[in-house]
Amino acid sequence: MSAYQELETRFKRMAALGEAEGMLHWDMSVLMPAGGAASRIEQLSALKLTTHEMKTDPRLAELLEAAEAEVPDDPWRAANLREMRRSWVHANAVDAGLVDATTRACSACEMVWREARPENDYARVLPYLEEVLNLSRQAAAAKAEALGRSPYEALLDQFEPDGSTARIDSLFTDLSAFLPDFLETALSRQSARGEGELPDGPFSVDKQRGLGERLMRTLGFDFDAGRLDVSLHPFCGGVPGDVRITTRYTEDDFTESLMGVLHETGHALYEMGLPDDWRYQPVGQARGMALHESQSLLIEMQACRSREYLEFAAPLMRETFGGTGAVWDADNLYRLYTRVDRSFIRVDADEVTYPAHVILRYRLESALIAGDMKLADLPGAWNDGMEELLGIRPPEDRLGCLQDIHWYDGAWGYFPTYTMGAMAAAQLFAAAKEARPEIPEGISKGDFAPLVGWMRENLHTKASSGSTDELMQAATGKPLGTEAFKAHLQTRYG
């Protein structure tokens, strides 16, 4: 067996362990009783340490050097070798003790956050979050030295390979200059045309779930290879052949859970479309979270909040909930689903105000990682930031710094990818419609085959064979930028 072939064998085993870890995380969020927390921490730690030991095995370093001495002629194998090296650098930058401590701290913090959030008790979770941040900063410093990058960029690289703060700052500065005035324009236009009216509830959870599953099928979700469940924070997990998505329900409003389901289905379609031949190799994984988020936002925001889609979905909503009257017409539902509002919760925010939520989190986590701010000051800094960026001030931490799971679960450096994903979604959707003009008409009939087919061909099956900009260039003719996103907002809300 050649050095490269042995590397593939070893990375396949590590990928399988990673999939098992992902399933345990899903179970912890969806089904596990609170009493299982201690056992789950041990299980996750054992898997993390086993994988870390495999990646830090001196033999792996020897194999990488031998394989890199004769880079494979096949571009996929060459890309796979590149991604193997990236994974190796991240793993070998930190020791086993830090990996174990971080895994345990993140699991413990997440479990406390699940109780602290609904109870609006930041003080309760603060000591756990301080431990997570301390360990994350240690990992950031070690990886920064290994990668030759800043500590924040070293964390970002785990979610957006080769991402840089200079690039993010440039993109966010452009949006920050555009959005404040445009928000006023959008609110003025909305006032003139009238806001959509939410139909009267209650809306039973069973009916909401049934409608969600029906619409998931029209998008192309395969229930023989995935499922829908409930969790405190919506997410997509699992593995390509067994994708697990979650949402959360309220009987007062069906619109939030439904769009949450469609959003996570976008993530799921990406996972389901990754190339089978490379499933257990680094090159076969999704290309970073910016493109992953682009797929959820392409489905939810670009397609399913469009007037065309609501012409198709409105009768199904009316039928599901037994609705009557004009509030169930597509025109009202379109105005409802494209409502612009300064709101506290990121996952419920509209397209126009959403970037402000992300920019705030980016600023805060950058300061925390750099040591320029203390976690004890986070609630006040969060509230000040919301007031500066959106003109509203959260009345409680449940609507502020407690709302997102990411920091409490150790995902530092993740947030910028959300708005980068929104930009990519607009750019990809525009390119798809130009290449296949039948896409809007298909959406109006609930036929997503043209859109998903184009994404399969131009993005999903490419996996990590190139960088984010290389894949965007190949699919759209341009690297990631703000132009398509701004044009989309002006067309829909301006």
Tens of pLDDT, residue by residue over 361-376, are 999 999 999 999 999 9
Give the domain range for residue 40: 3-161
Q: How confident is the model at residue 223 (pLDDT cuts 50, 70, 90)?
A: very high
Give the sign of the dihedral formed by CA 422, CA 425, CA 431, CA 434. Answer: negative
3-state DSSP assignment of residue 371: coil
- At residue 155, the pLDDT reads 98
- Residue 82 C-beta-side C-alpha neighbours within 13 Å: 16
Does 323 score more than 90 pLDDT? yes
Q: Average pLDDT of the chain? A: 96
Does any domain span residue 205? no
Number of structural domains (the chain) is: 1
Does any domain span residue 95? yes
Does any domain span residue 251? no
d(CA 145, CA 394): 38
Judging by DSSP bridges, how do beta strands 236-239 and 226-230 pair with one another? Answer: unpaired
Does any domain span residue 61? yes
Cβ of 199: how many Cβ atoms within 10 Å?
A: 20
Average pLDDT score over residue span 247-267: 95
Does 71 score more than 90 pLDDT? no
Q: How confident is the model at residue 111 (pLDDT cuts 50, 70, 90)?
A: very high
d(CA 236, CA 185): 34
Does any domain span residue 112? yes
- At residue 310, the pLDDT reads 97
Q: How confident is the model at residue 232 (pLDDT cuts 50, 70, 90)?
A: confident
110 φ/ψ sector (left φ>0, alpha ψ -120 to 50, else beta) = alpha
Does any domain span residue 478? no
Does any domain span residue 93? yes
Q: What angle do CA 242, 246, 247 make, to 5 degrees?
A: 160
What does residue 467 show for φ and ψ, rounded to 5 degrees? -75, 170
Q: Is 65 a catalytic residue?
A: no
Does any domain span residue 101? yes
Total count of residues recorded for the chain: 494
Which residues neighbour 38 within 8 Å (Cβ) at sequence distance 6 or greater? Answer: none
Query: Which of 160, 264, 308, 351 is the catalytic position?
Result: 264
